[in-house]
Chains A and B, each alone.
Chain A
């Protein structure tokens, strides 16, 4: 088997990936749910049946042109830390990380295509791209799906579309989502009304790791909820519209904060820098929240000569599994917090403290 560590792109490289509007839109993702005709869904199937489905699907996915040099693994072959790293990179779901034999993963070299086998559905395939690229992600996964349907017999109904384990995914089986960094709206206390109005449009707003997770580091995931009765293109376009609106709101919130409450902004960012440059123990949650403020500072050009790569790299590296893989998996939580603080301090050694843009004298 390929070693996951060697396979995965180093965080420093990932942090250098660029995409449109990536100041605010960290990544764009489209996933499709598909099932095989005549086979019980993974949650109901007995183990031999799940294995049979896995053995049918896995070679078909491996043979796709997109999957040359891919990593293909059964979930029982991946250790808990490997799985957690994949979750931290949004390449598998938390639900899939809990799976063992009878489930699998095929991941392409660029980490842009990830196909989960026997998650909630027989197939959950996603295209993940940096920045605001929902349309491109849809085109990419649509092509992969069209290639795959030639090799597999999908469960499809004329009336109800692609049949899925959960009726909430029925029809197109599509989930279009984007990861947004919204510190401005959070600091301006405008985030709740925005979430509410997005909800009213039938879209879901979730935390960093999807369903039931908190918005660590001011990162929010916006996605469609309805999958039946609206075609893929319209769903993608609707999300694009809403996201453009949120981006505009976030930019406005930042400008307005700088204009009317510059001290509040400088205070938050200055403190975040102060803690990161000097602390000797930092939890992963705290790290994310501090890094989020630092990212905002970089966007506002308060750290001249630095770019976002530094923060984005740390965003990934300070997460529990990434940290443990880098050092050791036999660390206590305290030891991890201490190592995390060392790593962040070291990285910030050559970063000067944030500049303050004083308004021109008024007299």
Chain B
């Protein structure tokens, strides 16, 4: 097994973290472990959640950037800043660091998709988006089953929905 950070040397330090019912594993080589300050297991409490999570996130962000340090184009926030504070720079940082954050969020939260309240102006488009993806799935299925009559109906419905939803309220990431 290779080290998760450098992907060069064999991993000899293995960390396991369990949050709720989710398990996250880290496999590091001697050197990377040392550079992250995890060379002495007795001094490193796995209960030190913040450190672990911060480490996991910055590492994933690092991987996502292919070794290059990512920097938010909107506010200039860098991944090293996240390592220091555990906070992000601006709402746009969630786009910039999306890939690395995805894994982190899974270990922290119940799910990785928001459910619950949304601002009124976006609520309609949120519901639309959900409806669209459901229709899209039905359409694929209809085509697979060569049920073209149904597919045509679904296509019209999708077209109708996309035309109705004003583009400025559609959020994408």
Produce 1/0 per residue, A144-184, CB < 8 A to B: 01100110001111111111011110111010000000000
Contact A226 B110 (CB under 8 A): yes
Measured CB to CB, the closest approach of chain B to A62, in angstroms, equals 21
Measured CB to CB, the closest approach of chain A to B36, in angstroms, equals 20
CB neighbors of A among B75-122 (8 A): 75, 77, 81, 85-92, 94, 101, 104-105, 108-122
Report the bound CA distance from A163 to B57 in whole Å.
Answer: 17
A230 cross-chain contacts in B, Cβ below 8 A: 109-111, 115-116
Question: Given A41-B89, A44-B87, are A228 and B120 also a contact pair (CB < 8 Å)?
Answer: no
Q: Contacting chain B: which of A31-39, A249-257, A351-359?
A: A31-39
Selected from A39, A41, A228, the residue in CB contact (under 8 A) with B87 is A41
Selected from B81, B86, B111, B172, the residue in CB contact (under 8 A) with A228 is B111
CB neighbors of A among B115-148 (8 A): 115-122, 125-126, 129
B92 cross-chain contacts in A, Cβ below 8 A: 38
Report the bound CA distance from A23 to B130 in whole Å.
Answer: 45
Measured CB to CB, the closest approach of chain A to B24, in angstroms, equals 15
A170 cross-chain contacts in B, Cβ below 8 A: 94, 105, 109, 114
Measured CB to CB, the closest approach of chain A to B71, in angstroms, equals 13
Report the bound CA distance from A120 to B57 in whole Å.
Answer: 20
Contact B116 A231 (CB under 8 A): yes
Interface on chain B toward A: helix, strand, loop, or mixed SS?
Answer: loop
Selected from A145, A149, A157, the residue in CB contact (under 8 A) with B94 is A157
Contact A158 B110 (CB under 8 A): no
Report the bound CA distance from A91 to B92 in whole Å.
Answer: 30
Is B171 positioned at the interface, with any CB of A under 8 Å from its CB? Answer: yes
Is A342 positioned at the interface, with any CB of B under 8 Å from its CB? Answer: no
A44 cross-chain contacts in B, Cβ below 8 A: 75, 77, 81, 87-90
Question: Given A37-B91, A40-B90, A231-B115, are A171 and B109 also a contact pair (CB < 8 Å)?
Answer: yes
Contact B105 A228 (CB under 8 A): yes
Interface on chain A toward B: helix, strand, loop, or mixed SS?
Answer: loop
B121 cross-chain contacts in A, Cβ below 8 A: 149
Which of B90, B104, B114, B129 is most buried by chain A, counting CB atoms within 10 A of its CB? B114
Report the bound CA distance from A310 to B48 in whole Å.
Answer: 41
CB neighbors of B among A213-249 (8 A): 226-233
Contact A146 B120 (CB under 8 A): yes
Is B173 positioned at the interface, with any CB of A under 8 Å from its CB? Answer: yes
Contact A227 B109 (CB under 8 A): yes
Contact A167 B104 (CB under 8 A): yes
Contact A155 B104 (CB under 8 A): no
Selected from A38, A43, A229, the residue in CB contact (under 8 A) with B110 is A229
Selected from B86, B91, B110, B116, the residue in CB contact (under 8 A) with A166 is B86
Subset of 5 A-B contacts with CB under 8 Å: A38-B91, A155-B91, A156-B119, A165-B88, A230-B110
A binding-site residues for B, Cβ under 8 Å: 35, 37-41, 43-45, 120, 142, 145-146, 149-150, 154-163, 165-168, 170-172, 174, 202, 226-233
Q: Which 3 A-B pairs have the closest CB atoms?
A: A229-B111, A161-B114, A231-B116
